[in-house]
């Protein structure tokens, strides 16, 4: 297997595993956050604006972990510097 094949295979496999493993934790965390927010809304409906705003901010912070994994996966697939370097080296030969 030459360099290009190794780089391509590693990038594709890593991109898939990154997405699969990377969204598992944030999804569990967001589920727990929403369930706690719902139970506190049921206990104190007057505090609904504060609870909702805090819930959204918390969800955004948790979501950004999944977004980091997504960005790395996209970079591996579409803007891969190692792949570009290997392709330009193979093209120059």
- Window 32 to 61, contacts with other proteins (CB under 8 A): 49-50, 53, 56-57, 60-61
Using the rule CB under 8 A, which residue among 42, 43, 78, 91 binds other proteins? 78
Is 88 one of the binding residues for other proteins (CB under 8 A)? no
Cα(11)–Cα(78) distance, integer angstroms: 10
Using the rule CB under 8 A, which residue among 6, 21, 34, 67 binds other proteins? 67
DSSP state letter for 37:
H
Q: Which one of 5-13, 17-25, 35-43, 65-73 is the stretch in contact with other proteins (CB under 8 A)?
A: 65-73
Q: Per the structure block, which two tokens stand in for 65?
A: 């972990």
Alpha-carbon distance values, 60 to 1, 24, 29, 67 (Å): 43, 16, 11, 10
Is 64 one of the binding residues for other proteins (CB under 8 A)? yes
Q: How far is the CB of 78 from other proteins (least distance, A)?
A: 5
Q: How many Cβ atoms from other residues are within 10 Å of residue 70's Cβ? A: 16
């Amino acid at each position: 297997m030459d360099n290009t094949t190794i780089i391509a295979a590693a990038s594709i496999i890593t991109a898939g595993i990154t997405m699969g493993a990377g969204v598992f934790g944030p999804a569990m965390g967001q589920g727990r956050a929403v369930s706690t927010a719902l139970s506190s809304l049921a206990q104190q409906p007057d505090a609904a604006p504060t609870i909702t705003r805090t819930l959204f901010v918390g969800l955004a912070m948790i979501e950004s972990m999944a977004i980091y994994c997504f960005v790395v996966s996209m970079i591996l697939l579409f803007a891969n510097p190692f792949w570009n370097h290997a392709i330009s080296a193979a093209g120059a030969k």
